[in-house]
Chain A
Amino acid sequence: MPRGRGPSGPDMEEIPAWLAASEPYEPRPDRGRHLEKSLLALLRVLAALRERPGSVRDGERLNPAPKLVSTFLVILLVSLSRGGLFLEAAAVFELGCLCLLRGETIARVLRRVLAAGLFALAILLPAYALGRGANLPFVCGKVLLAALAAAIFSSATSWPSMAAALSTLRIPDVFVMTLDMTVKYISLLGALLADLLCALKLRSVGRDGQKLSSLAGLAGTLFLKSKDAALAQYQAMECRCFDGRYAVSGRPGLGRRDAALVAADLAILAFFVAAGRAR
């Protein structure tokens, strides 16, 4: 590789001897992987919030408000149900919705439901040991169905659509704006926090006897940044003559697909009532 001239010039600074010498170093052992765990969880969240430019999520062609109402309805009916018959119908409905999604979305949904299922098993299995195991499969079934409904909704609905749904459902502008700002700043501040965690990890080259206070420094710095960001945000809004009204973009009209979803909701409600009467 051809090399040019080395560094030169009259303004070279003098440096201490130790900085000019090489240093053999063996790190002292230390416990704990809290930085790695935090960073991993954070990066997953940031990835989930990042929207690929130009890509459309499954289910984006549906109006988000009926989707939200439908999800809430299904979760409520599953919670109210007292018999296995309705749960089976709900499972059919939810799995039917699931199979309309893309493979990668289905995988994401199932991962979340699996996590909810394992958590439920861990919490509820000991009930058998206490002689309270009766009906547990029924309870677990309800937990899984609720988790599935919520997972389908959030995987098939981008955040801007969720905000549009809340706005359509007449939630006051100021709340929707606050929610929107929250999601935006989770990404922004989250990126800063990820960098801070990396910076802390890079300089944690030995045994950290002050792990908690180092992490607290990160959180404290994040808070100071949050305060500054809030002031800057307000000033930006003032400069743009913000008057309290908040327009949420992405409110598609109602189409055939939405009508089909509403019809399915009515059918499931009717089934719930019928199943209740049948008992």
Chain B
Amino acid sequence: MIELRDVSFSYPETAALCRIDLRIEEGDSVAIIGPNGSGKSTLLRLICGLATSVSGSYRFDGETMTAARLSDPRFAKAFHRRVGFLFQDSDAQLFCGSVRDEIAFGPRQMGLRESDFDGRVADLVGLFDLGAVETRVPYHLSGGEKRKVALASVLALNPEVLCLDEPMGGLDPRTKSSLRGLIATLNAAGKTIICATHDFEYVGGLFRRAVALSREGRLVRDGPYDEIIGDRDFLEAMNII
């Protein structure tokens, strides 16, 4: 479904990704690990179409993703509906006047039937236990509540692929645990999960596969999650633990 071939990306002052080859099948669950500055977020942004590689190719569901292709509004909208992205900083993702509006933003644009629209919003408010804060402005919620609202607003589009950038960052143990359960269920239901994470304690058993990036932005290892996370020498050498 997602195929990156020899993909490189650099910011004006630094190289971020160097010749990445990566294939992710539909329904896969992949953890992207690496030290700070290894390009984990950049890789996710590239997959979501927020950045375009300077070299190499990226194919999504057989379609080559170029800047030109993504500049077609109709194609871009259909693509963004299928690939959801959870920002590392929830403040960068929330901009509506109430939690309800935030969750309803996507479905409102999709032109759903009124009953479907109401049902969808109600389901997500219930799923994330946001009933008590439904009318509040997201900006003033706690970190954990903001993360839930952000994820709910992304799930409201019913994406097929979920790219999560450090979803556990700054959350308390109970919230981490329930988020873990939700991600597991979404993957079991067929959604592809790609997750950049530092937090190994709460994601055990969640991912089938791990992809390790080095400080220079190279893909150095790609294999079963348990095997890679179990290799402490490797993780220490990579400055991941």
Contact = CB atoms under 8 A, between A and B. Distances in A.
* A/B: CB atoms within 8 Å of each other: yes
Interface of A: 1-9, 11-16, 18-23, 25-30, 33, 36, 47, 50, 52-53, 192, 195-196, 198-209, 214, 217-218, 220-221, 224-225
Interface string B116-128: 1001100100010
Interface in B200-241: 205-209, 222-227
Contact of A196 (B95, B120, B177): B95
Given A18-B116, A18-B120, A27-B77, 9 more contacts: A4-B207, A4-B225, A7-B206, A13-B181, A19-B189, A27-B74, A50-B12, A199-B93, A202-B80
Main secondary structure of the interface of A (DSSP, over half): loop
B111 A6 contact: no
Given A8-B205, A13-B182, A221-B94, A3 B153 contact: no
B74 A29 contact: yes
B135 interface: no
Given A217-B97, A221-B139, A203 B106 contact: yes
B131 interface: no
A30 B160 CA distance: 23
Interface string B77-111: 11011101101010111111100000001101111
Nearest to B84: A202
B208 to A, nearest CB: 5
Given A214-B95, A217-B95, A221-B94, A18 B123 contact: yes
B64 interface: no
Contacts of B85: 202
B143 to A, nearest CB: 14
B130 interface: no
B123 A208 contact: no
Interface residues of B, number: 69
Given A11-B181, A30-B73, A205-B77, A218 B158 contact: no
B184 interface: yes
9 contacts: A4-B208, A4-B209, A4-B226, A5-B205, A9-B180, A52-B12, A199-B94, A205-B78, A209-B108
Contact of B187 (A7, A33, A199, A202): A7
Contacts of B110: 25, 205-206
B89 to A, nearest CB: 7
A224 B178 CA distance: 30
Contacts of B180: 9, 11
B227 A4 contact: yes
A25 B188 contact: no
A8 B183 CA distance: 10
Interface in B1-46: 12-13, 23, 25, 28-29
Contacts of A1: 23, 25, 209, 222
The residue in A8, A16, A26 that gathers the most chain B C-beta atoms within 10 A of its C-beta is: A16
B48 A6 contact: no
The residue in B48, B109, B183 that gathers the most chain A C-beta atoms within 10 A of its C-beta is: B109
B155 interface: yes
A16 B127 contact: yes
A221 B92 CA distance: 9
A75 B32 CA distance: 54
Contact of B224 (A2, A14, A19, A214): A2
A218 B223 contact: no
B92 to A, nearest CB: 4
